[in-house]
Amino acid sequence: MIFSREIFDIDAMAEEDGDGIGGDYLPLDNRAFWARWTLVNLPGSVLRFTRKDVASVHKIRTPRDKWLFIIPLWMTGRVRWDGCTVSPDSQIVCPPSSEGLVVHAGASEFAIVSVAAPDGVELVDAIRGKLATVLRASVIRPPAKDARALAASLIEVRATLWRLSDTLTGDSLREIGGLLHGALECCLRRAAIGEPKEDFRSPSSIVRRTEEFVREHLDETVSISELSMVAGVSERSLRTAFHQVCMTSPKKYLRMLALHQVRRSLRTAPDVHAAVTRAATRHGFYELGRFAAQYRALFGEAPSETLHRARLEQVVANPLP
């Protein structure tokens, strides 16, 4: 009924998303990662609370049979969804099969309500008119009073769930679900949509094209001028798009993405011969000394330490007979 877990590994966050939600996480600093993930099954919906204490980039993919409603509870630093500013009084609505890139510049906590698409639930009906032609996630801005009432209700729900988790009944969960749905529906019906246009030159489109190209050419060193040609924009527009969407430069963001992919390779295939060198060169790092320094600066350890720990974990998980 209620599932909760503390997470100390950013790679495990995607595995814990649950309810069919897909996603990739990328750390933006080298502080130790910590997050708490709580899932509650309510009648007609699933409620999740996610709290992270470090800056990160999170790509969210909505299942084809769900709507997601994402509500900020508190945050330190800026938060952006596909380049659109997320304020404490705004919310994010994700239609089925949509995708978005959310950047957290600091610690934050969000509530996520997922609703089955075909059920005709009032939550979905409340926004069909406004979002009838929208196929991508949108930042909406309800009246501040409604948004704060919803956030307060969710914080109260979270406290109740923690306090009474062992004694909650089906009737209690139905009551909680009804109150939550009513507050969310009120926000949705009165909200304005603050969605950036998704066209060829929009910042989110530029970032997506660039990142897709880089992922397909992991073993190549690509310059900013080449990336701007791939994206079909000027170097200045490329840099502006990355600062708006990712809150950092394209060079820094793509380097962090590549370093994270190296770390994931070391942890998932530690027994590969010359694993560090192969993982580094496969992701475009050919100056191994500089690579090792950048890796340590981001993750707080040398690549060889990551590899050694992964090998130990593999031995523990698969002891010899």
Which position has the token pair 């509650």?
Answer: 40
**pLDDT recorded at residue 128:** 62
Confidence of residue 97 (pLDDT cuts 50, 70, 90): confident
Amino acid 148: pLDDT: 92
Q: Please name the residue that has the structure tokens 């707080």.
A: 300
Give me 287's structure tokens: 């100056």
DSSP 87: -
Stretch 163-192: mean pLDDT: 81
Where are the alpha helices (H) located in the chain, listed in sequence order?
A: 10-16, 122-131, 144-164, 170-190, 203-216, 224-231, 235-246, 250-268, 275-282, 288-299, 303-317
- The string of pLDDT tens digits covering residues 180-190 is 888 888 888 88
* pLDDT tens-digit readout, 70-88: 999 999 888 998 888 899 9
Q: Which residue has the higher pLDDT, 193 or 160?
A: 160
Instruction: Give the whole-angstrom CA distance, residue 293 versus residue 88.
Output: 37
pLDDT higher at 109 or 121: 109
For residue range 116-130, list pLDDT tens digits in order. Answer: 876 545 666 666 666
Give the model's pLDDT for residue 117: 72
Confidence of residue 234 (pLDDT cuts 50, 70, 90): very high
Question: Per-residue pLDDT averaged across 44-56, rounded?
Answer: 87
Q: What pLDDT shows up at residue 120?
A: 44
What is the percent of the chain with per-residue pLDDT over 70, rounded to a whole number? 87
Write out the two tokens for 80. Answer: 């952006």
Distance CA(289)–CA(292), nearest Å, equals 5
The 10 Å Cβ neighbour count of residue 186 is 18
Q: From CA 85, how far away is CA 88, in angstroms rounded? A: 10
Question: Do the beta carbons of residue 256 and residue 28 sit within 8 Å?
Answer: yes
Q: Ranked by mean pLDDT, which of 95-109, 132-146, 182-196 comes out on top?
A: 95-109
Domains of the chain: 2-193 (2.60.120.10), 197-247 (1.10.10), 249-321 (1.10.10.60)
Structure tokens at 178: 């009804």
Average pLDDT over residues 155-178: 79
Task: Supply the pTM of this predicted model.
Answer: 0.82
Please spell the DSSP secondary structure of 131-199, one letter per residue. Answer: HTT--S-EEEE--HHHHHHHHHHHHHHHHHHHHHTTT--HHHHHHHHHHHHHHHHHHHHHPEE-PPP-S
| Rounded Cα distance, 176 and 41, in Å | 11
Coil, strand, or helix at residue 92? strand
**pLDDT for position 118:** 62
87: exposed, middle or buried (Cβ count in 10 Å: 0-12, 13-18, 19+): middle
Evaluate the CA torsion angle 181, 185, 186, 192 in order and state its sign.
positive
| Block residue for tokens 């791939």 | 230
Strand partners, 58: 25, 102
Interacting residues of 300 by C-beta distance below 8 A, sequence separation 6+: 30, 32
Residue 318: the pLDDT is: 67
Mean pLDDT of the chain: 83
pLDDT confidence bin for 198, thresholds 50/70/90: low
- Backbone dihedral region for residue 300 (phi beyond 0: left; psi -120 to 50: alpha; all else: beta): left
Q: Model confidence over 283-319: pLDDT tens digits?
A: 889 999 999 999 998 888 899 999 888 888 877 666 6
Could you tell me if 28 and 4 are in contact, meaning their C-beta atoms sit under 8 angstroms apart? no
Q: How far apart are CA 218 and CA 265, in angstroms?
A: 13
**CA 321/CA 179 separation, integer angstroms:** 55
